Amino acid sequence: MTRVLWLSLLLACSGSGATEPATETVPEAEPEPEAPEPEAPADALATELWRTAGGEQLDQVAQIDFRFVVTDAGETVFEAAHRWDRIGGRDRVSWTTREGALNDVVVTLETRAACGHVDGDAAVGEALEALGESAHGRWVNDAYWLMVPLKVLDPGVQRRVLEPEGETRRLELTFEGVGLTPGDRYVLEIDPEGRLTRWEMTLEGSEPGEDPKGVTFEAHTAVGPLTLPLDHAAEGSERRVSLRDVTVHETVQSGDFAIRGCEG
């Protein structure tokens, strides 16, 4: 698959309007985990974070709708709209590329098989395969921003408690056999209420001695049975990532996945 890109809020986008940002990879792991019995301090802290975000109620969520929006100095530079069918393992995503093409596609997340349109024309052949890869990449990146606190117990995620800073607890995440860049390292900062408030990340391929990149996790908001941080600021930058119009459904809204020419 093409590189799934991650740090969209930190890197510049050329041109004006809604263009597709360059980003860095995020770890990908499915299916959603069950909470383990805490056997170590790191597992206990991760489980607390997971539960605070609503992990024990996640099975009540069949579909999540959201918009992934990147702004720079208050101006929108990229946007993608998602309708994620968690039960059926598919996502309908619409976004505009750097070249100005409007993509609207339903992608099966396990296989990346897709059906959709580019500027209203049905994609076929190699163009459809590429569209499926791009749609899957958008889901991996954008849904991870939405669901970070609920991903800390995923298979292949290795956890270690670091020394706290005052009342802020710190949880290191590294990865084994998952994602496209298993050498990534994330340090999550967790407040006394069990909420993720910030992280620092060192990405695979970073230059020796390069400082980790800090990102805030703000606007913890109740969305159905979940409580998620919906606003993120890149430290040292005017870039922000926002998750907007987040809506959860107890049942899949089948009509949301009906695209002309994709029936059956």
Contact of 20 with 95, CB cutoff 8 Å: yes
H-run or E-run covering 120? none
Other Cβ atoms less than 10 A from the Cβ of 63: the count is 22
Domain boundaries, the chain: 8-23+40-257
Measured CA to CA, the distance from residue 135 to residue 123 in angstroms comes to 13
Give the model's pLDDT for residue 176.
80
Beta bridge partners of 181: none
H-run or E-run covering 70? strand 63-72
Measured CA to CA, the distance from residue 104 to residue 58 in angstroms comes to 27
For the segment 11-65, what is each residue's pLDDT rounded down to a tens digit?
433 333 444 554 444 555 555 666 656 569 999 999 999 999 999 999 999 999 9
Statement: 8-23+40-257 belongs to CATH 2.20.28 = no
Give the model's pLDDT for residue 22.
42
Between 178 and 252, whose confidence is greater?
252
